[in-house]
Chains A and B, each alone.
Chain A
Amino acid sequence: MQRKIELKRGVDNTSVEAYLVDLVQRHVDDYVNYWVESLRLFSQEDKYWDWIFKLRYIDNQENLEGYAVECENKTQGLMIIETQMHGSRLNVGKRLVYVDGIATAPTNRIEIQRPPQFKGVGQALLNFARIRSVELGYEGRIGLHSLPRSEGFYEKQNMLNCGSEEEYDNLVYFEYGVLRRR
């Protein structure tokens, strides 16, 4: 899978070509070589995520899919989705795509670099998760448990805040309902 998209350069808001692709080893290598140290240095909430392990794991699992955003030959974002086991909180009985993990490169995080190198990475991944949801017959429904410092982002997305869930260490659960025509 390769889908051409655009991102904006943070420094001057010019558009730049990027690609949404399947998660493969080179993305994990970028994570190890360019992300890990910064994430630790800046005490990011997802600093411990082990994408190396996740990549090895999803290769063997039918219900998991991994995707990455590439721009200027570097990995700009990563996402893993679960496609078979999660149900909607808003419409009980309906399946959805669950975002198991989503992260942008340290240089695209406003907490680490101002202005960020590229803007739109997280949104591109989230939009793609909705497209997968449509393809799978889930009508665009997606759900996720937000990291505490990311809640504002999902609020702005108009995802429905379903409140914190004890089972998930009190992370707040957000859900997009059915994708409708405008």
Chain B
Amino acid sequence: MNHQQQKDNSEANESIITQEAIDLLFGEGWLEEAVCIEDEANCTIGAGLDWGNALPPLMLNLPLFGRLSTLRVSLNREVRLIIETWDLGIGTTSATETARTRIKERLLSPTPELIPHLEATLLQDDLYGEEFISNREALKSLLAVVLTDADREEIAEKAANSIRTQVMSQVNFSGKLSA
């Protein structure tokens, strides 16, 4: 490797500095490029997890605001991991979706009995340092009270319906084949 190649490689490996980033991102031509992309995409920029038409009452406690979103995505992940172990096959997706919907509902409008459980989890500082809570036992304990018996019944029903739909479509297919 010659000296120039070594220099090039070393430059490529060096982290870009702020002024270079500014020059790259807001230098000559950035706006024309941005307009071009905006015109081509023909849509609006937007991002972020939604809470629906009302902020959960627990969010009125400001320090808990960010944690509630972390808790929500962590519960969503935990319930998915749990349901995957149930081996529901085609029913897995509908079971998970139902569970997720109920989790969101419970966080948005917690029952008076649930509130102390949620607050206790939200106040546990050590849980909130990453995008997802890694303490699965804490999440499992909370899920046990977040999801009610009626929720579990509904999750089972939705999974069963998915399996039933699949079976029936297969039966019809076989029938048509034999006819």
Nearest chain-B residue to A144 (Cβ)?
B47
The smallest C-beta distance from A181 to any residue of chain B, in angstroms, reads: 6
The secondary-structure label for the interface of chain A is mixed
Q: Which residue of A lies closest to B104 (CB)?
A: A169
**Interface residue? B87 (CB, 8 A):** no
A100-122 Cβ-contact flags toward B at 8 Å (1 or 0)? 11111000011100000001111
Alpha-carbon separation in the docked complex, A125 to B44 (Å): 13
Question: Judging by beta carbons under 8 Å apart, are A156 and B47 in contact?
Answer: no
Residues 1-39 (chain A) with a chain B CB within 8 angstroms: 3, 5-8, 13, 15
- CB atoms of A99 and B48 under 8 A apart: yes
Q: Report A144-157 CB contacts with B as 1/0, cut-off 8 Å.
A: 11110111110111
Contact residues, A123-182 vs B (CB, 8 A)? 123-128, 130-131, 134-135, 137, 139-140, 144-147, 149-153, 155-157, 166-169, 171, 178-182
Is A86 interfacial (CB 8 A cutoff)?
yes
Whether the Cβ atoms of B62 and A56 lie closer than 8 Å is yes
Pick from A80, A153, A181: contact of B43, CB under 8 Å: A153
Shortest Cβ distance from A93 into chain B, in angstroms?
Answer: 12
Task: Decide yes or no whether B150 CB sits under 8 A from chain A.
Answer: no
Q: How far is the CA of A173 from the CA of B76 in the complex (A)?
A: 16
Indicate if the CB atoms of A102 and B43 lie closer than 8 Å.
Answer: no
Which residue on chain B has the smallest CB distance to residue A138? B15
Q: What residues on A are CB-neighbors of B73 within 8 Å? A: 167-168
**A68 to B11 CA separation, bound complex (whole angstroms):** 34
Q: Which of B34-42, B117-125, B151-159, B167-175 contacts A (4 or more CB under 8 A)?
A: B34-42
CA of A82 to CA of B49 in the docked complex: distance in angstroms? 13
Decide yes or no: A49 and B131 within 8 Å by CB, A60-B62, A134-B17, A152-B41 being known contacts: no
Say yes or no: B26 contacts A5, CB within 8 Å: yes
Residues of A within 8 A of B40 (CB): 156
Instruction: Establish whether residues B16 and A103, one from each chain, have CB atoms under 8 Å apart when the complex forms.
Output: no
In angstroms, Cα B34 to Cα A130, docked, is 15
- Considering only CB atoms, which chain B residue lies closest to A98 in the complex? B131
Query: Which of A57, A85, A153 contacts B41 (CB under 8 A)?
Result: A153
Closest Cβ neighbor of A63 among chain B residues: B66
Q: Is B179 an interface residue (CB 8 A)?
A: no
B6 part of interface (Cβ distance < 8 Å) = no
Against A, the Cβ 8 Å flags (1 = close, 0 = not) of B23-39 are 01110001100110111
Cα-based distance from A58 to B89 in the complex (angstroms): 43
A and B contact pairs by CB, cutoff 8 A, 25 listed = A46-B46, A46-B48, A46-B50, A49-B50, A50-B55, A57-B62, A85-B131, A102-B47, A102-B48, A103-B46, A119-B34, A120-B34, A125-B45, A127-B26, A134-B15, A140-B16, A145-B47, A153-B41, A153-B44, A166-B80, A167-B77, A167-B132, A168-B73, A169-B76, A181-B12
* Chain A interface (Cβ < 8 Å from any Cβ of B): 3, 5-8, 13, 15, 44-46, 48-50, 53, 56-57, 60-61, 63-64, 80, 82, 85-87, 98-104, 109-111, 119-128, 130-131, 134-135, 137, 139-140, 144-147, 149-153, 155-157, 166-169, 171, 178-182
Please list the residues of chain B having a beta carbon within 8 angstroms of any beta carbon in chain A: 11-12, 15-18, 20-22, 24-26, 30-31, 34-35, 37-55, 59, 62-63, 65-66, 70, 73-74, 76-77, 80, 96, 100, 104, 128-132
